[in-house]
Structure 1
């Protein structure tokens, strides 16, 4: 990753840029997300800003270029139920096509992992990835994530069933 890209936690002020990037990703690669463009396209900026509000159990990290354009994001959440609160969830990883192959995905993941390790009581991160997304699978494996299962027919997108790989990172 070049020195002109900055990774930081998003704030409610980033809602418009986050929503635009996310909607573009949902349209471009619908099989990469559990959510859909149709579900999120009418979400208000206030609702998006609330998702980005500071919280000890949730964060969204963004990669910004020197001009301040948002190039990629990844979300970090925590399970809410008492017996599951030792687990975090990574969600919504997306990098613009023109910014790929520059190390942004790795930098975003490292920021999320670092933040997760600082959360008291968090011992593990989980994620799901489309089984056909070999680039993402390789990235996650290189960061220490281990596959612990596969969900056949995890998503139905435009009449096509997609399998997901379930992965975890423990510390």
Structure 2
């Protein structure tokens, strides 16, 4: 397995996996398949080349099977925090350590950015495998957002998780 940062050249394969994710796990994403299916290639390229995010892809035999994005802000008051979003592993690649590798590598990337002290994410409260994955990497739950998502009149709660990165000065 190879994990690397996705670039504009990866827009088509990224969008294909992203749409699969939105269809197969709609409760795991704030966006929907219907909203993103007609996104232009230029928009996807822009998403992958922004200065305030990094998207990593996991490849098996040159096939994109997983992805995760780190988003951060240049604004001074919130520059110390980053968010992990868009985490997805294709069903054919699950239980092979792909998710673990993606989280590990995105944390390495976050740690390489001197301003980032903590990582935040939200996960569907009923998604036990994802919560276990994040807990293995040091994330802890700090809150619950009830009815965070609504899909076809069904509500989904989200657990809010945080990881204070090691070797960073954090006063709490």
State the TM bucket, normalised to the shorter chain. over 0.9
Aligned to 1:102: 96
Does the aligned pair in 2 maintain the 1:116–1:122 contact within 8 Å? yes
Aligned to 2:67: 73
Aligned to 2:4: 8
Q: Does 1:137 align with 2:131?
A: yes
Aligned to 2:170: none
Q: Which runs of 4+ in 1 moved over 6 A?
A: none
Among candidates 112, 117, 122, match of residue 106 of structure 2: 112
SS, match of residue 101 in structure 1: coil
Shift of 1:81: 3.1
Shift of 1:54: 5.8
Unaligned runs of 5+ in 2: 166-172
CA distance in 1, matches of 2:144, 2:67: 25
Q: Does 1:40 align with 2:40?
A: no
1:96-147 per-residue CA deviation (whole Å, 9 max, x = no partner) reads: 1011000000100111000000112110000000000000000000100010
Does the aligned pair in 2 maintain the 1:11–1:54 contact within 8 Å? no
Aligned to 1:60: 55
Q: Does 1:23 align with 2:25?
A: no
Cα RMSD of the aligned pairs, angstroms, is 0.9
Shift of 1:38: 1.1
Shift of 1:80: 4.2
Does the aligned pair in 2 maintain the 1:79–1:89 contact within 8 Å? no
Shift of 1:10: 0.4
TM-score of the pair, normalised by structure 2:
0.93
Aligned to 1:164: 158
Shift of 1:170: 0.5
Paired residues, what number?
Answer: 165
TM-score of the pair, normalised by structure 1:
0.94
SS, match of residue 159 in structure 2: strand
Q: Does 1:83 align with 2:77?
A: yes
Does the aligned pair in 2 maintain the 1:10–1:60 contact within 8 Å? yes
